[in-house]
Amino acid sequence: MEWTSVSFFHQHCRRRRCHGAAAGAGGENSLRLLYKRALGITIATSGRMTALVARTGRHQQRYEHGHRLVAGCIPYRYRPTGDGKSMEVLMISSQRGEGLLFPKGGWETDETVEEAACREALEEAGVKGHLQGMLGTWDFKSKRQQGVFCPEGLCRAYMFALDVTEQLETWPEQHARQRQWTRSTSIFILVQE
């Protein structure tokens, strides 16, 4: 486990203004193209396609030097307050209901790390937005992810800041996870494995 300061995250987001998930052929968002190609079950939302099911399985997972590669993000938004704006971060419950964490999951071979981070935010938290740059990487050990390619259960996570522009009412893991927006002022967040 690792403690991450929200004030560091806030300062980093203000400095970085790059966008992930660039437009592809015909102006389509690469994340949407990924879903059209990878998943057969989709629904229309405001003229856009959104997957109803999350990817599962480990056959397309990326591994490097004994680590399973993971991508995730810290979703955030600004809310008006009486004295300006306040930043909130979105956390989700673990599937086992043990605490809160940020959306993250396996980075697959047919996507970029940025696409994987956006996909995990959509699948686990039901949010879309603009990536604001990579916050960093960290290595951790997962008891659940031990396997042939990763016998020690070692994982390397690539985490991004995600400026949330849309929160969906229906998303792939809505029955397994709860969402919780938390004000970021003067708090530290426990990032769980």
Round to whole Å and give the CA distance between 19 and 94: 28
At 61 the pLDDT is 87
Q: 12: which strand partners?
A: none
CATH architecture of structural domain 2-20+60-191: Alpha-Beta Complex (3.90)
At 7 the pLDDT is 37
Residue 31 · residue 48 · CB < 8 Å: no
Low-confidence ranges of the chain (pLDDT < 70): 1-59, 144-151, 185-193
At 188 the pLDDT is 52
H or E element, residue 180: strand 179-183
At 23 the pLDDT is 36
Query: Which residue has 């990763």 as its token pair?
Result: 150
Q: How many CB atoms lie within 10 A of CB 85?
A: 9
Strand spans (E) along the chain: 2-5, 42-45, 48-51, 63-64, 67-81, 84-93, 100-101, 104-106, 127-141, 154-167, 179-183, 188-191
At 183 the pLDDT is 83
At 72 the pLDDT is 97
At 57 the pLDDT is 54
